[in-house]
Amino acid sequence: MDKNKHFLVGIFNDQDDLLHGVEDIRKKGVKIHEVFTPFPVHGLEHALGYEKSWTPKAAFMFGFLGTCLAITMQVGMMAIDWPMVIGGKPYLSIPDFVPVSFEFTVLLASYGMTLTFLFVRGYLPHSVPRIFDIRSTDDKHVMAIDLANNSLSEEQIRSIVKDAHAEEVYRRDFTDEENEGSFLKYVVDLFTNGVTRSSRIAHHR
Amino acid sequence: MQIVSEVREPLVTGGKTHKDVTEDICKQIEGAPAPAWLASFAASLLALGIGGYYLGDLLWNGIGKWGLNKSVQWAWDITNFVWWVGIGHAGTLISAVLLLFRQKWRTSINRAAEAMTIFAVICALFWPIAHMGRPWIGPVWAFPLPNTYGSLWVNFNSPLLWDVFAIGTYFSVSLLFWFIGLVPDFATIRDRATSKVSRLMYGMLSLGWDGSAKSWMHYESVSLILAGLSTPLVLSVHTIVSFDFATSVIPGWHTTIFPPYFVSGAIFSGFAMVLTLMLITRKVYHLEDYITIEHIEMMNIIIIVTGSVVGIAYLTEFFIAWYSGVEFELYAFINRSTGPYWWAYLAMMTCNVVSPQLFWIKSIRTSLTWTFVLSIIVNIGMWFERFVIIVTSLHRDYLPSSWTYFVPTIHDVGTYLFTFGLFFTFFFLFAKFFPVINMAEVKAVLKESNSKMYRARRTLVNEPLPTIEESVIEKEVH
């Protein structure tokens, strides 16, 4: 995550306004840092020009690993390490190994993919998010534009975002401390200064 | 913002805005517990305590305390296992299968149904562990760990071992799916929390979720793949449970229709349990706008379908028992319906085959009282189905001198009560501390579902659709 400090925040009320707004703003040459929404807005990833998610590939690779591990385990235990006649069946009875191989494939694919997603995106119990506007988990769509990343002036961007039907546009500056997002500091701050103070950090207006 | 259609009821009624959704769901978590909640929670703890006493006695003295005998070696333990695991099928069915089929009505009920799934599977897992008698050495019997209690490794030819993997995977994956769904809602609660402890706890549970567009993109993809993986999983679980019986050579058990028949029975009982719990939650938490009559009607329609499949399976089994010409098989079925356990067979037939047919009548399937009563009747029926399959096939074996009649003891009843206590304790804790409705998903369907209906209504009454400038709704076409 980049450590830039100065952002312009645009608040959108409606998801359709947001989608059109994102298109208009990008057409006018403004680079959008990220959009935060309370629920998945379909088509937003296309409007922002993101590449397709890599998660299906991760799921396939972990699933394939699961199948291989399960087959190796069963063949190794039943046919190589300790062969035994059970109910007159051959040592290597492949049809009997199908259910466990299937279950293990599903298990590894699901956990592998999901945990990779969480790790890669930094969603862990001790993560402290950098929240632009606290209403983004309630009912508003929040667009963040990094001022250092754009050649246009703050005033120009402000008017472009306003023209794109943003309800509100305001400047949001982060301190170094907020950008670091240390869990320890967050907890200490929460318990010494209370919820109102730490929520003011989160919703700094 | 909402457009109310004349064609059909919207998914969420009462003209709710996104803000209202947050308020309505979060206030249950933020407020003090309702007296009704406290009373129900105390009752479940009581059941847990009484059941726990009998469970402790059972573990101390051994499973001889159950009413099992030489002929009936499996009775309430495996009946209750299959019953609970069957109930645990609806949650994943609602969240995964209905997600794949793009059924938007699932959004208000999936959270509680998934929670119910997880708790029911915990109760189910309890039974095989308890019936080991010495559960502390269970891991070496159930998991592929080298041991000296028999053969070196577990037996991968055994359906009982497949069951370990199936139920274990099902539980783990359902838990993951449920938790991933909860993460954005935990973030909502975190950002509203006013107490230090809840801000910290929900903050940690939310994994620092910020709702960025890129994360939502991956998140949606993860959910869809989890749904795709869970769909064959949920079908495989009850298939493998049915293999516990179907791969044996016991007349009445080794039938090839068991897998589909068990799966539809599981969906049938699972939906019934979802209805029982949702009707109570809806009433106590005033969620009438989220869980509408239409949701209930949809679930009742699934109950008619699966109930009829189960009914046909009962008749097919009987027909094939006669048509196969195997006299042992035929005797098992005649004994089932007219033998000493005729009353259980009658209870099964009435509750599972006859009673759900009442839902063909629209006024019954849209009536809350009827739905509630029938949902309980269905689950009683499904319990009897498992009891009939298991006990009636065992109690008269090949040697008439060992024919017996199984009678449950207080320890059978006590351990069953323990699982009820466990299930409801978990469910009430969930209902108090976790959002019972998936807020993020409901917010996402608020507008979309209504605009589609709006278009449908306009087309139906031959009104021209408004041009793009006129209508905010039509912007959605993009």
B474: confidence class by pLDDT, cuts 50, 70, 90: very low
Q: Taking Cα atoms as reference points, which of B263, B286, B301, B298 lies closest to residue B107?
A: B298
Binary contact (A45, B184; C-beta < 8 A): no
For residue A111, give the nearest of B159, B176, B240 by CB distance: B176
Instruction: Please report which confidence band the pLDDT of residue B1 belongs to, taking 50, 70 and 90 as the band edges.
Output: very low
Residue B9: what pLDDT? Answer: 59
A-B contacts at Cβ under 8 angstroms: 221
Higher-confidence residue: B478 or B60? B60
Residue B45 in any domain: the answer is yes
Predicted local distance difference test score (pLDDT) of residue B376: 93
What's the pLDDT score for residue B7?
53
Q: What is the CATH number of the domain that holds B373?
A: 1.20.1630.10
| pLDDT of amino acid B454 | 45
Kindly state whether residue B259 falls inside one of the protein's structural domains.
yes
Query: CA angle B273-B262-B300, nearest 5°?
Result: 35
Strand partners, A36: A142, B212
CA separation for the pair B413, A12 (Å, rounded): 58
DSSP-derived 3-state class of residue A10: strand
Phi/psi of residue B440, each to 5°?
-60, -40
| Interface membership of A14 toward B (CB under 8 Å) | yes
Residue A98 has pLDDT above 90, yes or no: yes
Of all helices (H) and strands (E), which one includes residue A7?
strand A6-12
Would B447 be classed as within a structural domain? no
Interface residue of A103, A124, A141 to substitute, partner B, most B CBs within 10 Å: A103
Closest partner residue to B156 among A97, A121, A137, by Cβ?
A97
Predicted local distance difference test score (pLDDT) of residue B354? 92
Q: Of the candidates A100, A123, A194, which has its C-beta nearest B196's C-beta?
A: A194
Q: Does A38 touch chain B (CB under 8 A)?
A: yes
ipTM score assigned to the predicted complex: 0.90
* CB distance A162 to A21 below 8 Å: no
pLDDT of residue A1: 46
Asked whether the predicted pLDDT for residue B317 surpasses 60, the reply is yes
Decide if B232 is inside a domain. Answer: yes
Q: How far apart are CA B332 and CA B35, in angstroms?
A: 51
- 143-162 in A: which are within 8 Å (CB) of B? none
Q: What is the pLDDT of residue B42?
A: 94
Residue B477: the pLDDT is 41
B472 — pLDDT class (breaks 50, 70, 90): very low
**pLDDT digits over A120-146, tens only?**
988 988 888 888 888 888 888 898 888
Q: Which residues of B touch A38 (CB under 8 A)?
A: 18, 22, 184, 188, 211, 440, 443
In this prediction, residues B350-372 reach a mean pLDDT of: 91
pLDDT at B471: 44
Report yes or no: A60 at the B interface, CB cutoff 8 Å. Answer: no
> How many structural domains are present in chain B?
1
The boundaries of the domain holding residue B330 are 32-437
Task: Kindly state whether A119 is in contact with chain B, defined as any CB-CB distance less than 8 angstroms.
Answer: no
Give A202's pLDDT tier (boundaries 50, 70, 90).
Answer: very low
Cross-chain CB nearest to B19 (options A50, A56, A139) = A139
Nearest to B213 among A35, A137, A194 (CB): A35
Contact in structure between A105 and A66 (CB atoms under 8 Å): yes
Per-residue three-class SS string for chain B: CCCCCCCCCCCCCCCCCHHHHHHHHHHHHHCCCCHHHHHHHHHHHHHHHHHHHHHHHHHHHCHHHCCCCCCCCCCHHHHHHHHHHHHCCHHHHHHHHHHHCCCHHHHHCHHHHHHHHHHHHHHHHHHHHHCCCCHHHHHHHHCCCCCCCCCCCCCCCCHHHHHHHHHHHHHHHHHHHHHHHHHHHHHHHHHHCCCHHHHHHHHHHCCCCCCEHHHHHHHHHHHHHHHHHHHHHHHHHHHHHHHHHHCCCCCCCCCCCHHHHHHHHHHHHHHHHHHHHHHHHHHHCCCCCCCCHHHHHHHHHHHHHHHHHHHHHHHHHHHHHHHCCCHHHHHHHHHHHHCCCHHHHHHHHHHHHHHHHHHHCHHHHCCHHHHHHHHHHHHHHHHHHHHHHHHHHHCCCCCHHHCCCCCCCHHHHHHHHHHHHHHHHHHHHHHHHCCCCCHHHHHHHHHHHHHHHHHHHHHHCCCCCCCCCCCCHHHHHC
Average pLDDT over residues B397-407: 89
Per-residue pLDDT, averaged over B285-295, amounts to 85
Q: What does the pLDDT look like over B419-470, one tens digit per residue?
A: 999 999 999 999 889 998 888 888 888 765 444 444 444 455 555 554 444 4
Residue range B374-394, pLDDT digits in tens? 999 999 999 999 999 999 999
pLDDT tens string A165-201: 888 888 888 877 777 778 888 888 888 877 764 444 4
**Domain assignment of residue B423, yes or no:** yes
Instruction: Examine the pLDDT at B255 and tell me if it is beyond 90.
Output: no
A55 touches chain B (CB under 8 A): yes
Distance from CA of B313 to the nearest CA of A (A): 24
Whether the Cβ atoms of residue B266 and residue B86 lie closer than 8 Å to each other: yes
Inspect the interface and report whether the beta carbons of A195 and B219 lie closer than 8 Å.
Answer: no
The fraction of chain A above a pLDDT of 70, given in percent, is 93
- CA A132 and chain centroid, separation: 16
Per-residue pLDDT, averaged over B351-365, amounts to 91
CA distance B267 to B262: 9
Q: What digits encode the pLDDT tens for the residues B142-169?
A: 888 888 777 788 888 889 999 999 999 9
B237 found inside a domain: yes
Asked if B218's CB is within 8 angstroms of A53's CB, the reply is: yes
Q: Determine the residue of chain A that is closest to B191 in CA distance.
A: A134
Domain for residue B366, yes or no?
A: yes
Q: What is the pLDDT of residue B398?
A: 86
Residue B418, pLDDT above cutoff 90 = yes
Residue B465 forms part of a structural domain: no
pLDDT in tens, A32-91: 888 999 888 888 888 888 888 899 999 999 999 999 999 999 999 988 988 888 888 888
pLDDT of B3-33, one tens digit each? 445 555 567 776 777 888 888 888 888 888 8
Q: What is the pLDDT of residue A205?
A: 36
Handedness of CA B386, B387, B392, B395 (dihedral sign): positive
pLDDT at B85 over 50: yes
